[in-house]
Amino acid sequence: MRDGYDVVALDNFHTGKRYNLNALLRNPRFTCIEHDIVNALPLGLQFDEIYNLACPASPPHYQEDPIHTFKTSVLGSLNLLELARQNNAKIFQASTSEVYGDPFVHPQPESYFGNVNTHGPRSCYDEGKRSAETLFFDYSRTYGLDIRVARIFNTYGRRMQPDDGRVVSNFIVQALRGQDLTVYGSGMQTRSFCYADDLIEGFVRLMNAPSAPAHPVNLGNPGEFTIMELATLVISYTNSRSKIVHRPLPVDDPRQRKPDISFARANLGWEPKISLSQGLAQTVDYFDTLLYGSKLVKGA
Ligand code: UDP
């Protein structure tokens, strides 16, 4: 909207909260329609650009109703691709590092085809997003649609829900409440965490690039941390007395993950600017205010 766009948000509020939109709702350029993209879209919508970010992304949420998760990626993408075709609009798809599954290639370049279980508890998300990539590229080849597909690695930041269930928000909320931090498995598995503001800059650069890349583009922060390292950082940033406890490792939990972002660096001039420490500090402040209405006085 700051760039002069009128924005229409479609959301079924399955995992998000309306209060995150409070400031935007006052802006005449913004409209919010409660809708599930699995169902036929409201009539009369006209767009120049469409960003498809729909789908729960946290394992407990997307596994709650796996068939609906799969439909969101597949039927939802189909509905939006048809809308893009009718409007001759450019369309962005939020794909995921989960298309690499439990990868044998490390770090993961876009050319890696992945190692994904087709029938496990994560498959509804992984295979749904893989199918959506297929649909996007077939719409591009068949109808000449201008598509932009980003493979998003683990992302965190302000405005996540305290019960989101992913590791960064879980650890911060547990630490702020003085509860034990639940590390699944040994905690030696790794992830690369990107702050949301960096990611969104990557979306816009990918969408505005003069020509569409011929393949999906990795967007993520290449800094790689074990889950134990993350737990220790969160305890220190919150000055918490919480302890670390271990819980069973979920089925098919990837052992390592780190994006190769050479393509985005070279072609979009993009790389993350916000370190894990800076991003965690901001996210801790956000949750502290949300839960207790105060700002923590953090130690060194
Ligand atoms: N994890 C954990 N404790 C939690 C939540 C997650 O140890 O309370 C682990 C999880 O097993 C995985 C990593 O943290 O190895 C990242 O999990 P998340 O659900 O955030 O995202 P994923 O990359 O698995 O989709």
Residue 180 Cα, ligand 1 centroid: separation in angstroms? 15
Pocket test for ligand 1, best of 184, 224, 228 (most atoms within 8 A of CB): 184
pLDDT recorded at residue 295? 60
* CA 169 / ligand 1 centre spacing (Å): 10
pLDDT at residue 294, as a whole number: 67
Q: Residue 4: its pLDDT value, please?
A: 94
> Which DSSP state fits 17?
-
Distance, in Å, from the CA atom of 42 to the CA atom of 10, rounded to the nearest integer, reads 10
**Residue ranges of the alpha helices (H) in the chain?**
22-25, 59-64, 66-87, 123-143, 167-177, 196-208, 227-238, 262-268, 276-292
Pocket test for ligand 1, best of 167, 181, 258 (most atoms within 8 A of CB): 167
Q: Is 125 a catalytic residue?
A: yes
Q: What is the pLDDT of residue 296?
A: 55
Q: Taking the CB of residue 53, how many other CB atoms lie within 10 A of it?
A: 13
Distance of alpha carbon 229 from alpha carbon 79, whole angstroms: 41
- Distance CA(296)–CA(273), nearest Å, equals 24
In whole angstroms, give the CA distance from residue 123 to residue 119.
Answer: 6
The protein residue whose alpha carbon is closest to atom 13 in ligand 1 is 167
What's the 258 CA to ligand 1 centre distance in angstroms? 14
Q: Which tokens belong to 285?
A: 């402040």
Q: Given this model, what pLDDT does residue 300 score?
A: 31
- Within 10 A of 63 (CB to CB), how many other CB atoms are there? 18
- CB 240, CB 176: distance < 8 Å: yes
Structural domains of the chain sorted by starting position, each given as residue range(s) with its CATH number in brackets:
1-152 (3.40.50.720)
pLDDT of the chain along its 300 residues, tens only? 999 999 999 999 999 899 999 999 999 999 999 999 999 998 888 999 999 999 999 999 999 999 999 999 999 999 999 999 999 999 999 999 999 999 999 999 999 999 999 999 999 999 999 999 999 999 999 999 999 999 999 999 999 999 999 999 999 999 999 999 999 999 999 999 999 999 999 999 999 999 999 999 999 999 999 999 999 999 999 999 999 999 999 999 999 999 999 999 999 999 999 999 999 999 999 999 999 996 655 433
Which residue owns the Cα nearest ligand 1 atom 12? 253
Q: Which one of 51, 62, 100, 125 is the catalytic residue? A: 125
Q: How many CA atoms lie within 13 A of 1 on its CB side?
A: 13
Q: What are phi and psi of 226, to 5 degrees?
A: -75, 160
Query: pTM of the predicted model, to two decimals?
Result: 0.96
